[in-house]
């Protein structure tokens, strides 16, 4: 049975969470999103149903966090708790139903980024760990690691310095570059500590994206091959439909825009025909409902 880091939430049923929870962690600019955008189609081609999720995509709090970050007045405790609300909302309403329906859940950042950010902002590590003790233990955590000096050119020559990524709220006296360096160094030090405590699989993110991708493919394949259950997850098709439906509805309610070709963070069940350990996902896609909800937006 799947486990949490210590606490369970009311109504949380940890049995039958048969999917796989795979975490991609790393500092800003380490290439997490690039990798997830490659991993997803690769897994779908193998016939797996894939959900990808990430910070602030909760329909409940995502918009509230974005608004709060635009204001000049978001405190450190408030920030940590806002993100915790977003995380738990997605876990309860998106990740857990998806795991129950047998999805592979790829998550861009997890509790580790949230803990690192909070700790660097002076929060008590025991306090923030306590809050996330209700989080599910993932099947694997891949930590894309990049030194600050390698990170800087990636940021400068792509999107430029961002107020929050530069930790300007933490180092208000410094200019953006100095602040970025101080903040990302502190984050990196915290990530390195967490990587030992939580046994991350560290991947050198300074290599070419294709090289990193090949490493991740091999590691994820090992996680999937390690699963001995190669049978449908639900005897009752209706139950599985119900959970897939929940995932679709949740994602459709999210207003988080991702990119032009994928305007909403919507889960797509696989259309592939190859099956390894996965169930036949394409039989139960309630796509009409999800699409029509999206179309109305």
Partner 1 sequence: MNTGNSARFGPFEVVIPPELSSLRQRRFSEPEFPGRLFVVEGVDGSGKSTQISLLHKWLESKGYGVVFSTWNSSELVKDTTKLGKKKKMLSPATFSLIHATDFADRVERNILPLLKAGAVVLCDRYIYTAFARDVARGMDRHWVRDLYSFSAKPAVAFYFRVPLETAIGRLTTARDGFKFYEAGLDLGLSDDPTESFRLFQGRILDEYERMIPEFGLTVIDATLPVEVQQAQVRQIVQTHLDRARNLRVRP
Verify binding: residue 13, partner 1, rule CB under 8 A.
no
At residue 203, what are phi and psi to the nearest 5 degrees?
-120, 130
Name residues contacting partner 1, limited to 200-259 (CB under 8 A).
Answer: none
Q: How far apart, in whole angstroms, are the C-alpha atoms of residue 140 and residue 218? A: 13
How far is the C-alpha of 243 from the C-alpha of 281, rounded, in Å? 12
Q: Which of 75, 153, 226, 263 binds partner 1 (CB under 8 A)?
A: 75
For position 84 contacting partner 1 by CB under 8 A, the verdict is: yes
Provide φ and ψ at 106, rounded to 5°: -100, 120
102/88 Cα distance (integer angstroms): 20
Query: How is residue 138 annotated by DSSP?
Result: P
The residue count for binding partner 1 (CB under 8 A) is 49
Does position 150 interact with partner 1 (CB under 8 A)? The reply is no
Out of 81, 152, 176, 207, point to the residue binding partner 1 (CB under 8 A): 81
Asked whether position 114 contacts partner 1 by CB under 8 A, the answer is: no
Among 15, 72, 126, 261, binds partner 1 (CB under 8 A): 126
Token pair listed for 123: 């929060």
147 is an interface residue for partner 1 by CB under 8 A = no
- Residue 103 gets which letter from DSSP? P
Q: Find residue 24's DSSP bridge partners.
A: 108, 142
Q: Which residues bind partner 1 (CB under 8 A)?
A: 7, 9-11, 59-61, 63-64, 67-68, 71, 73-78, 80-82, 84-85, 88-89, 92-93, 119-127, 130-131, 133-134, 170-171, 182, 185-186, 189-190, 193, 197
């Amino acid at each position: 049975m799947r486990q949490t880091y210590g606490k369970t939430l009311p109504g949380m049923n940890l049995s039958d969470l048969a999917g796989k929870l795979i975490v991609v962690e790393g500092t800003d600019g380490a290439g997490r999103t690039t990798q997830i955008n490659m991993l997803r189609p690769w897994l779908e081609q193998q016939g797996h149903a894939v959900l990808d999720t990430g910070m602030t995509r909760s329909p409940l709090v995502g918009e509230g966090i974005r608004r709060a970050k635009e204001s000049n007045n978001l405190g450190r405790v408030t920030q940590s708790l806002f993100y915790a609300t977003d995380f738990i909302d997605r876990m309860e309403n998106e990740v857990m139903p998806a795991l129950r329906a047998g999805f592979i859940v790829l998550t861009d950042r997890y509790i580790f980024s949230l803990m690192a950010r909070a700790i660097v902002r002076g929060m008590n590590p025991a306090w923030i760990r306590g809050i996330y003790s209700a989080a599910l233990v993932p099947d694997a955590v891949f930590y894309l690691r990049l030194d600050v000096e390698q990170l800087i050119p990636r940021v400068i020559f792509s999107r430029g310095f961002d107020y929050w990524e530069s930790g300007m709220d933490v180092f208000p006296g410094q200019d953006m570059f100095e602040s970025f360096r101080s903040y990302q160094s502190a984050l990196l030090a915290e990530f390195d500590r967490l990587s030992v405590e939580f046994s991350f699989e560290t991947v050198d993110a300074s290599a070419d994206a294709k090289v990193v991708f090949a490493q991740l493919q091999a590691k994820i394949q090992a996680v999937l091959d390690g699963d001995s259950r190669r049978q449908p997850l639900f005897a009752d098709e209706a139950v599985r439909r119900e959970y897939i439906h929940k995932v679709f509805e949740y994602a459709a309610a999210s207003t988080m825009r991702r990119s032009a070709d994928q305007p909403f963070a919507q889960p797509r069940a696989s259309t592939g025909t190859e099956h390894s350990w996965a169930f036949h996902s394409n039989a139960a896609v309630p796509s009409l409902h999800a699409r029509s909800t999206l179309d109305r937006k």
